[in-house]
Amino acid sequence: KMLILQNTFFHLFHKNQPLQKEYIRGISLVIFLIKDRLGGLAMRRAVCPGSFDPVTKGHVDIFERASAMFDELIISVFHNPGKDKAMFSMEERVEMLKEATKHIPNVRVTCFSGLLNEFCKKEEAPFIVRGLRAFTDFEYEFQRALLLKKIDNDLETVFIMTNAKYSFVSSSGVRELATFGGQLKDLVPECIEERVRKHVYKKFE
Ligand code: ADP
């Protein structure tokens, strides 16, 4: 490789020399080395999709751990056709997620209506992060990951096991408790607790 590079520079600085095969090989090598270097420096991006209706402490724990594994974590609110009765609008959920993750520097929050594989392609993110709580989660997540792999073989789903402290925490549980005025302190981030409560009061006013 060094010899090829030496020849290249020799030809570059002695322009009167005829263009030789080595020169072209040298240029190709330089391009290859730059590309290789840039490839190594490319951002490792992951998407963490979900309904987040609303974001819970269990979700935030997954975000914190996933953000340490990737250069950038894109948290995206998706419309889940199986969960049609949402408590918060997509915009409200994005706002709450931004608030709850402002201590994590490499996180971006957004929302998307469409197919997850298309979103990943648009964001150049080949990894998908999902949290796993119990066997019931596993069954659903397993099917989802396999279906996604069938649609796009380049996508990898990464599962992060729940923190035992939050294994019982779910958005549906939070919604139910909030509706009946229950304690949310241990379930949702402090910064959004009041917001969830006010939202429920407003509905009943
Ligand atoms: P979805 O509607 O796509 O299932 P959710 O907002 O309910 O979205 O959850 C998003 C992701 O977070 C899912 O992978 C879910 O399993 C995971 N998750 C939810 N609650 C917890 C928790 N307490 N601990 C770990 N992972 C969780």
Per-residue pLDDT reduced to its tens digit, 14-34? 655 556 666 777 777 777 777
Are 91 and 9 in contact by the 8 Å Cβ rule? The answer is no
Report the DSSP beta bridge partners of residue 183: none
Report pLDDT digits (tens) over 93-143: 999 999 999 999 999 999 999 999 999 999 999 999 999 998 788 999 999
Quote the tokens at residue 146.
């396999």
Q: What is the pLDDT of residue 21?
A: 67
Residue 194 has pLDDT above 70, yes or no: yes
| CA dihedral of residues 143, 125, 108, 73 (deg, nearest 10) | 70
Pocket test residue of 130, 141, 165, 167 for ligand 1, highest count of atoms within 8 A of CB: 130
Q: Return the residue whose CA atom lies nearest to atom 1 of ligand 1.
A: 50
Q: Is 103 helix (H, G, I), strand (E, B) or coil?
A: coil
The phi, psi pair for 183, rounded to 5°, reads -70, 130
Q: Cβ of 74: how many Cβ atoms within 10 Å?
A: 22
CA max distance for the chain: 87
The answer to whether the predicted template modeling score (pTM) of the entire model surpasses 0.85 is: no
Q: Return the residue whose CA atom lies nearest to atom 22 of ligand 1.
A: 58
Distance 10 CA to ligand 1 centre (A): 60
How does the average pLDDT of the chain come out, rounded?
Answer: 88
Q: What is the pLDDT of residue 91?
A: 95
> Of 11, 59, 93, 130, which one is the catalytic site residue?
59
- Distance in angstroms (rounded) separating the CA atoms of residues 90 and 52: 9
Q: Which atom of ligand 1 is nearest to the CA of 55?
A: 6
Q: What is the pLDDT of residue 13?
A: 62
The phi, psi pair for 88, rounded to 5°, reads -115, 150
Taken in order 99, 56, 108, 42, is the CA torsion positive or negative? positive
Cβ–ligand 1 distance for 22 under 6 Å, the answer no
Q: Return the residue whose CA atom lies nearest to atom 21 of ligand 1.
A: 58
Quote the tokens at residue 59.
């979700």
- Single out the residue of 193, 178, 6, 198 nearest to residue 96, CA to CA: 193
Pocket test residue of 47, 62, 112, 142 for ligand 1, highest count of atoms within 8 A of CB: 62
- Single out the residue of 159, 199, 158 nearest to residue 178, CA to CA: 199
Report pLDDT digits (tens) over 52-72: 999 999 999 999 999 999 999
Cβ–ligand 1 distance for 76 under 6 Å, the answer no
Strand arrangement, sheet containing 127-132: 107-112, 72-78, 45-50, 127-132, 156-161
Of all residues in the chain, the percent with pLDDT exceeding 90 is 67
